[in-house]
Structure 1
Amino acid sequence: MRKAFQPIATGRLLATLAAIISLPLAASASASDITGRDVTVQYADVDTDSIAGATLLLQRIQVAAESVCAPLDHGDLASRSRRLACEQKLTAAAVTRVNSPALASVYQSARRDPRRVMAQAK
């Protein structure tokens, strides 16, 4: 004879499964915990003292940040937000590391109006 599942037991089972499934997601949810692959951005061929060169380097940095942070985006708003935060954090760190006044200026300008920087690159 088969016994029917009791609603209380089923509810507990579903709650337990939901908790187990959500643990790995919560553990990897923070953009500050990104320890993904390293990407090297080459810029020996770029004059980082010129606006055009700094703009080109910023674009390279942004492409590298996008490639590192893309795995965070799972298509929902929360994961997209984490990806964008990751990209911003990595881009800011790279700009600081290069230590170029022109790059810092272009970066600050891009944060205010990205279209202006794209126009300068053309």
Structure 2
Amino acid sequence: MRETCVPTGVELKDTGFGYTLSLIGGKYKMIILYWLAEKKVMRHNELKRSIGTISFKTLSLMLKELEADDLIIRKEFPQVPPKVEYSLTERGLSLIPLLNMICDWGEKNSLQPQEGVKKQA
């Protein structure tokens, strides 16, 4: 196991941990990446329906940020009405094992009562 991901005297933003958080941090980015990993290709409204609690504007902003960070591909088809599809880049796909580990950790730790903590009636 490594000594520390954020060494003393180093700003979080200057570490690999900080960089990763800057790419996937926030309320929706990991969810968007996860849906794209599951479905492979999705359109804007399909993503919005799948997430449910995200506004059109916020989803558009998150997609632009993920595209700028080279985590997703935006493919626009020249037709009327316009058609745009989103999918993961190779770089985006490389984050999926990390998201799966987060999922596994949550399943293991949220479904089991914590030691020393009594359940409230």
Q: Answer with 1 or 2: which has the greater Rg.
A: 1
Looking at secondary structure, tell me which structure has more helix per residue: 1
Q: With structure 1 as the length reference, what TM-score do the two structures score?
A: 0.25
Q: With structure 2 as the length reference, what TM-score do the two structures score?
A: 0.25
